[in-house]
Structure 1
Amino acid sequence: MAEVKLFGFWGSPYSRRVEMALKLKGVEYEYIEEDIIGNKSPRLLQYNPVHKKVPLLLHNGMPIAESLVILEYIDETWKNGQSILPNHPHDRALARFWAKFLDETCWRACKKAYLSGGKEQVKAKEEAEESLKLLDNELKGKKFFGGDSIGLVDIAANLIAYWPVIIAEIVGVELITNDKFPNLCAWMDEYLNSNVVKEHLPDRDKLAEHIRTWFQKTSPVQ
């Protein structure tokens, strides 16, 4: 049997992505919790010397880093279970595009809106809402980004499905509302009520406390 280990952190949306993908594919694995705040394990540093981050997948001793890369690796390696990427090359390319857009454009803009203040925050919120509007348009007439079932983009979008709701309560900056993004909010309800997703979401109260502590240490500009 293939040996699969996942180095992760309970509160990381990136780690949770990989857990969801492994569950969808029916892959058994050993989960190894990392203390990412200041005590990363020697094994994590050994297997991911470039970024020194979680998640890290170890498959038969071979390390794979970066959550989106890991998701594709899982889909290509284990053919059983639900497909994560579409079959058609063009659809696969689109899925990769939107997953990258979520990480590199949308979530970065959202974080800037949460962490800034004053005029900078106003501009940051506008940029975040522009990105969210594009996602909202992409969901028109669809249950999930992947169509009728959860796929790569949906798993990647857990960044905006669960964590921002808690962050909004803590910092008072609400970006995703039903009046502005009805398709996105409908998707969030559908996604968060999926059994495979609910099973791999961190405890809400514990996550809220973790995020609150993180924001206090980060000291956003007011």
Structure 2
Amino acid sequence: MENDEVILLDFWPSMFGMRVRVALAEKEIKYEYKEEDLFTGKSPLLPKMNPVHKKIPVLVHNGKPVCESLVVVEYIDEIWKDKAPLLSSDPYERAQARFWAAYTDKLYDFGTRIWTATKEEFAGGKKDLLDPLKLLEEAALGDKPYFGGESFGFVDVALIGFYTWFYTYETIGNFSIEAECPKLVAWGKRCMQRDRVSKSLADPHKICEVLLEFRKNRGLE
């Protein structure tokens, strides 16, 4: 595996791309990063590597593409299984992790409703986002340090990219996620103390700056 060619097609603010970056960092895998700027246009390589959805992230391993972020993270965990396992060896625990990781995908649409909304639409958008976050906090995280227990794992990887967008949601929607979901925000801060995680994620303030400019250009402010 030492001489494997690993390329990641990604877009820096993507919470889905951040999943893959964190997984690669946790496994200490060296890779070539290729930015696909979704604002200015995709490269010809992206639709070639992902002809079905034409979306990032795409992991290209020895010339073979793997698409869809959770599929990619699980692939990484299987291929480089000797380092920092992300999924439990227990079938039930693996099934639970896959369930909650897939559930986190719902946050994308709810979060998008906030940063693309007019001020009159914020109230509904905030509730739509906070309800699944509260469910994740109560039903999946509880009092554990990480979603899988004592170790950083699959669900943590799935959700941590969204955590970097919390600042944007709060700034644009004028509300506090920490006030509503204190355990979840404490979890995010705990994850950020891991160098492999924090160095793999986009700057929350930079994300917010870009989205505020987007809103200004669309006349949403």
Q: Give the structure-1-normalised TM-score.
A: 0.89
The equivalent residue for 2:183 is 183
Could you tell me how far apart the structure 1 residues matched to 2:125 and 2:203 are?
29
SS in 1 for 2:66: strand
Aligned match for 1:149, one of 129, 148, 151: 151
Q: CA deviation at 1:118?
A: 6.3
Judge conservation of contact 1:165–1:174 (CA < 8 Å) in 2.
no
1:91–1:134 Cα change, 3 Å:
same
For residues 30 and 64 of structure 1, the distance between their equivalents in structure 2, rounded to whole angstroms, comes to 15
Report the counterpart of residue 4 of structure 1 in structure 2. Answer: 6
Check conservation: 1:85, 1:152, Cα contact below 8 A.
Answer: yes
State the 1:141 CA deviation: 1.8
Give the CA RMSD over aligned residues.
2.0
Amino acid at match of 1:206: K
- Structure with more contact order per residue of length (Cα contacts < 8 Å, sep ≥ 6): 2
Structure 1 counterpart of 2:111 = 110
Q: Distance in 1 between matches of 2:120 and 2:193?
A: 37
Partner of 1:101: 103
Please say which of residues 118-127 and 184-193 is displaced more in the overlay.
Answer: 118-127
Question: Mind listing any 5+ residue stretches in structure 1 that lack a counterpart?
Answer: none
CA contact (8 A) 2:164 2:203 kept: no
> What is the aligned partner in structure 2 of residue 82 from structure 1?
84
Give the total of aligned pairs: 218
**TM-score of the aligned structures, taking structure 2 as reference length:** 0.89
> In the aligned structure 2, how far is the partner of 1:60 from the partner of 1:149?
30
Moved over 4 A (4+): 117-120, 217-220
> Match for 2:75: what amino acid?
Y
- Over the matched positions of the two proteins, sequence identity in percent amounts to 38
Q: Could you tell me whether the CA contact under 8 Å between 2:7 and 2:60 is conserved in 1?
A: yes
1:129-208 pair list within 5 angstroms = 129-137=130-138, 138-169=140-171, 171-178=172-179, 180-208=180-208
**Aligned match for 1:56, one of 36, 41, 58:** 58
